[in-house]
């Protein structure tokens, strides 16, 4: 990777109408960029950002090999005293500046990569996992990947801190992917990433818009639904081809935004033949779903190891994205029958079929309705025990939506901790319990492992007294191995692991029945 001078970066920011001052040696050579001192590589420009930033982080970055730094004007005096003589850039719009200098410092690797970005209220993780698996089955090298749970850049695999990384990290991963000889990148693109310029400057070969629902509306996220939707729609301005769900809510607004962009549109639909890619003959079968996928290349029978029409919709989105990237989507659909999407409608059933645990990441009104409608379709007579909570201090609509929808579809509800964050877990459960349906019995158990055991106890008792199948729904955390309380990530067994253990225990106890 070639280096770039601090003067070149200053000129770049000025060309983007960002007021910038250069202090120190303008010929300082920069290789790459970082905003986390723990990720600094030799020659990096270090970005001093965030309300929680401390001057000691700059010391750590310089000690790790950073040669210059970028900061906001209000921090310049403090940091200049902390690191005297170190060349630096001072700017007025740090977020935009960080994105532009990251792209330049890492050598604009997006120009040599086919990047598929997927945004939407629900389905990003499933869709990107399916795209990745399809492309991996036909390309000579694996895809780089950035998602909610993990990142693969051709060099290493990392645990994700955000759905979409901050700009310096994102461009570093793209640079690594290029250096490793990879050709394709699949990534989830969050509304926060689009709103706060994490993806600014990234050229998406394909930008996919899945759907939109009322979520992430809070003082610390999006102040209104309009802001949330507008943020999502920004992906169109960065994409060559836009894959759009013909069935999404607010399609008129989506279509208007698409029309004002310079992108080519490729539409998909669950079952509308007016779309470029659509499904037909959708039928549940053997723990999954079978359907026929129609594309401009023809039609093919497809089986996915996932339940529900919403997962078929996500599979069709994935096929459309693969098509838009220049690969025949139908030639790689066979791989979909073997794809496991962690924490998405994962079923654990006892040998006698009396009790089933279903684990899912569902965490907003759209995903809750999809989840419970699917459960009712596959288990129409089941007694349903649901266990869930909400994240504290954000997406405030969920405080009402999740207990209201969850209790509407359930025979018994156990409210427990999701990620209570800054709010006392007991106080949070007291608040959301007001929205449980009056005729649905419920309990409040803040400690999630204890809540799971209580759900299992109730499920066993119900299965013992009635031949009706029992379904335990564990929502929100899936295979996450911790819960965030205040600023502490407290380790705990994941819902996926605990469900497997509980079902195994039941089978062992009832082996001779």
CATH fold for domain 346-510: 3.90.190
**What share of the chain has pLDDT > 90, as a percent?**
76
Query: What value does the mean pLDDT take over residues 347-364?
Result: 91
Is the separation of the CB atoms in 162 and 129 below 8 Å? no
For residue 396, what are its two tokens?
């405030």
Residue, of 211 and 466, whose pLDDT is higher: 211
pLDDT at 228: 86
* CATH topology identical between 4-106 and 346-510: no
Query: What value does the mean pLDDT take over residues 4-10?
Result: 97
Q: How does DSSP assign 146-205, residue by residue?
A: E-SSEEE-SS-EEE-SSSS--HHHHHHHHHHHHHTT--EEEEE--HHHHHTTSSTT--EE
CATH fold for domain 109-338: 3.40.1190
Q: What is the pLDDT of residues 247-296, one digit of tens each?
A: 999 999 999 999 999 899 999 999 999 999 999 999 988 778 999 999 99
Is the separation of the CB atoms in 146 and 156 below 8 Å? no
pLDDT at 45: 98
The torsion defined by the Cα of 202, 128, 164 and 346, in degrees rounded to 10, comes to: 180
Query: What value does the mean pLDDT take over residues 20-38?
Result: 96
**What share of the chain has pLDDT > 70, as a percent?**
98
pLDDT at 419: 85
383-388 β-sheet, strand order: 346-349, 355-360, 470-475, 383-388, 412-415, 442-444
Q: Which of 289, 287, 409, 410 is nearest to 348 (CA)?
A: 287
Phi, psi of 374 (to 5 degrees): -70, -45
Query: What value does the mean pLDDT take over residues 436-451?
Result: 96
Rounded Cα distance between 205 and 198, Å, is 17
Query: What value does the mean pLDDT take over residues 4-22?
Result: 97
Rounded Cα distance between 65 and 71, Å, is 17
Mean pLDDT estimate for the chain: 92
Which residue, chain included where needed, has tokens 């998602």? 147
Query: What value does the mean pLDDT take over residues 189-208?
Result: 95
Query: What value does the mean pLDDT take over residues 98-106?
Result: 97
Is the separation of the CB atoms in 88 and 48 below 8 Å? no
* pLDDT over 70 at 217, yes or no: no
pLDDT at 337: 85
**Three-state SS for 143?**
coil
Burial label for 239, CB within 10 Å (0-12, 13-18, 19+), is: buried
For residue 269, what are its two tokens?
């639909």
* pLDDT over 70 at 1, yes or no: no
Domain 4-106 has CATH 3.40.1390.10: yes
Q: Domain segments of the chain: what residues? A: 4-106, 109-338, 346-510
Instruction: Tell me the pLDDT band of 412, cut-offs 50, 70 and 90.
Output: very high
Query: What value does the mean pLDDT take over residues 54-59?
Result: 94
Rounded Cα distance between 85 and 72, Å, is 17
Provide the 10 A C-beta neighbour count for residue 396: 17
Rounded Cα distance between 239 and 245, Å, is 16
pLDDT at 512: 64
Predicted TM-score (pTM) of the model is 0.85
Provide the 10 A C-beta neighbour count for residue 7: 15
Rounded Cα distance between 100 and 93, Å, is 11
Flag the least confident range among 31-40, 79-88, 329-338, 371-380. 329-338
Residue, of 447 and 337, whose pLDDT is higher: 447
Flag the least confident range among 4-18, 193-207, 419-433. 419-433
For residue 277, what are its two tokens?
């890619």
* pLDDT over 90 at 3, yes or no: no
Q: What angle do CA 28, 34, 40 make, to 5 degrees?
A: 85
Flag the least confident range among 3-7, 219-223, 296-300. 219-223
Q: Which of 98, 104, 97, 26 is nearest to 67 (CA)?
A: 26
pLDDT at 220: 66
Expressed in percent and rounded to 5, the helix, strand and coil fractions of the chain are 40, 25, 35
Q: What angle do CA 74, 80, 86 make, to 5 degrees?
A: 130
Burial label for 124, CB within 10 Å (0-12, 13-18, 19+), is: buried
pLDDT at 25: 96
């Amino acid at each position: 990777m070639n280096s770039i001078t601090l003067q070149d970066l200053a000129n770049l920011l000025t060309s983007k109408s960002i007021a910038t001052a250069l202090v120190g040696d303008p010929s300082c050579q920069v290789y790459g960029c970082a905003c986390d001192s723990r990720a600094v590589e030799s020659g990096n420009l270090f970005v001093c950002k965030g309300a929680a930033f401390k001057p000691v982080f700059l010391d750590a970055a310089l000690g790790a090999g950073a040669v210059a730094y970028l900061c906001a004007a209000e921090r310049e005096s403090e940091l200049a005293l902390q690191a005297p003589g170190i060349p630096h850039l001072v700017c007025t719009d740090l977020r935009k500046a960080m994105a532009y200098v990251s792209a330049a410092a890492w050598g604009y690797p997006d120009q040599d990569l086919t990047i598929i970005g997927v945004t939407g209220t629900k389905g990003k993780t499933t869709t990107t996992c399916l795209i990745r698996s399809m492309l991996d089955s036909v390309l000579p090298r694996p895809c780089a990947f950035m998602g909610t749970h993990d990142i693969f850049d051709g060099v290493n695999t990392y645990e994700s801190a955000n759905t979409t990384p901050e700009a310096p990290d994102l461009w570093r991963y793209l640079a690594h992917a290029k250096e490793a000889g990879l050709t394709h990148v699949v990534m989830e693109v969050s509304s926060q990433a689009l709103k706060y310029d994490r993806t600014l400057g990234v050229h998406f070969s394909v930008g996919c818009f899945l759907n939109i629902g009322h979520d992430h509306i809070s003082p610390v996220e999006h102040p209104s639904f309009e802001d949330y939707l507008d943020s999502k729609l920004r992906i169109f301005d960065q994409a060559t081809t836009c894959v759009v769900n013909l069935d999404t809510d607010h399609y008129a607004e989506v279509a208007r935004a698409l029309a004002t962009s310079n992108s080519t549109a490729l539409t998909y639909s669950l079952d509308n033949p007016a779309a470029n890619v659509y499904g037909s003959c959708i039928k549940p079968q053997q723990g999954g779903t079978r359907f026929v996928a129609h594309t401009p290349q023809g039609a093919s029978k497809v089986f996915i190891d996932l339940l529900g029409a919403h997962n078929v919709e996500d599979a069709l989105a994935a096929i459309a994205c693969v098509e838009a990237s220049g690969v025949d989507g139908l030639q790689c659909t066979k791989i979909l029958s073997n794809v496991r999407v962690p924490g998405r409608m994962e079923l654990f059933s006892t040998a006698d079929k009396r009790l089933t645990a279903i684990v899912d990441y569902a965490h907003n009104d759209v995903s809750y309705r999809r989840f419970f409608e699917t459960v009712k379709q596959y288990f129409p007579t089941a007694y349903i025990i649901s266990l869930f909570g909400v994240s504290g201090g954000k997406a405030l609509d969920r405080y009402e939506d999740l207990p209201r929808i969850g209790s509407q579809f359930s025979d018994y509800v156990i409210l427990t901790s999701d990620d209570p964050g800054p709010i006392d877990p007991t106080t949070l459960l007291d608040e959301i319990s007001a929205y449980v349906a009056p005729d649905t019995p419920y309990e409040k158990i803040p400690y999630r492992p204890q809540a799971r055991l209580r759900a299992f106890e109730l499920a066993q008792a119900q299965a013992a007294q009635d031949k009706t199948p029992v379904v335990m729904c564990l929502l929100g955390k899936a295979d996450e191995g911790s819960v965030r309380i205040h600023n502490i990530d407290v380790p705990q067994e994941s819902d996926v692991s605990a469900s497997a253990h509980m079902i195994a225990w039941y089978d062992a106890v009832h082996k001779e029945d």
